[in-house]
Amino acid sequence: MMLLEAHELKSGYGDAIIVDGASLEMEHGEMVTIIGPNGAGKSTFLKTIVGLLRVREGSVVFQGEDITTISADEAIDYGMCFVPQVDNIFPNLTVMENLKMGAWSLTDDADFDRRVQAVYERFPELRDRTGTLTGNLSGGQQQMVAMGAGLMLDPDLLILDEPSAGLAPDLVDQMFDKISEINDAGTSVLMVEQNARRALEESDRGVVLDMGDSKLQGTGKELLESEEVAELYLGT
């Protein structure tokens, strides 16, 4: 059984159709990256999958269940967590308070403490900053808080929108290493990423989205070696 199947999705804003027939499939445990030019509908595709935007045509199936019409809140209950590109932290709350927001549905204190420690083991830099306002952290640390909060409910699928956006070049590799560690630990990862080459190097498979449709799919290696992908989407 596939983890995620999105078939021929159409969605958008108002009268504008942004995603126009896009599809993808994911196996359990995979890391899949969506690449494509600016304005291709990549972020809109993610928002449609998690229920932030209404599916106008097509279907979304997650772990064998049709979730086409669910809301974003319900997607969390199914085991999906979406970390947006912007507004993904509460800057006026501390690191610990952000993690508590991520674990909003947990009622067991011992379980909460266990998950907080798991986040701090994944992101050691945050342990000593647990009482620091998140808005006072560096961009890389803020992204760690956003992902840490997303992991607090132990999702089966972590969905990331441009996780390396705005990071200093020396932090980009560190961020991808953390994402790979999360994936290696058993959490499936679906992401949109502007650093297409680096993301495909880490990914099991990739999807090329253009004009709202999935034009090409293949393993990360296959897409990296494709002359068409290199010329049109990787800038070489």
Q: 95-102 vs 109-122: helix axis angle to the nearest 10?
A: 120
Task: List, for residues 66-113, the tens digit of each pLDDT value.
Answer: 999 999 999 999 999 999 998 899 999 999 999 999 998 777 788 899
Q: Identify the residue with better confidence: 236 or 43.
A: 43
**Which range, of 92-96, 118-122, 207-211, 227-231, averages the lowest pLDDT?**
227-231
Rounded CA separation 189/81 (Å): 10
Q: Quote the mean pLDDT of the chain.
A: 93
For position 236, what pLDDT does the model report?
56
Rounded CA separation 3/157 (Å): 8
For position 233, what pLDDT does the model report?
77
Answer whether 0.85 is exceeded by the pTM: yes
Task: List, for residues 168-206, the tens digit of each pLDDT value.
Answer: 888 898 899 999 999 999 999 999 998 999 999 999 999
Is-contact 24 4, C-beta < 8 A?
Answer: yes
CB within 8 Å of 80: residues ≥ 6 apart = 49, 50, 62, 155, 156, 157, 159
Of 152, 206, 226, 172, the C-alpha closest to 36 is 206
Q: Tell me: pLDDT of 3 over 80.
A: yes
Q: Is 186 helix (H, G, I), strand (E, B) or coil?
A: coil
Q: How many CB atoms lie within 10 A of CB 174?
A: 16
Q: Tell me: pLDDT of 1 over 90.
A: no
Task: List, for residues 131-163, the tens digit of each pLDDT value.
Answer: 999 999 999 999 999 999 999 999 999 999 999
For position 107, what pLDDT does the model report?
76
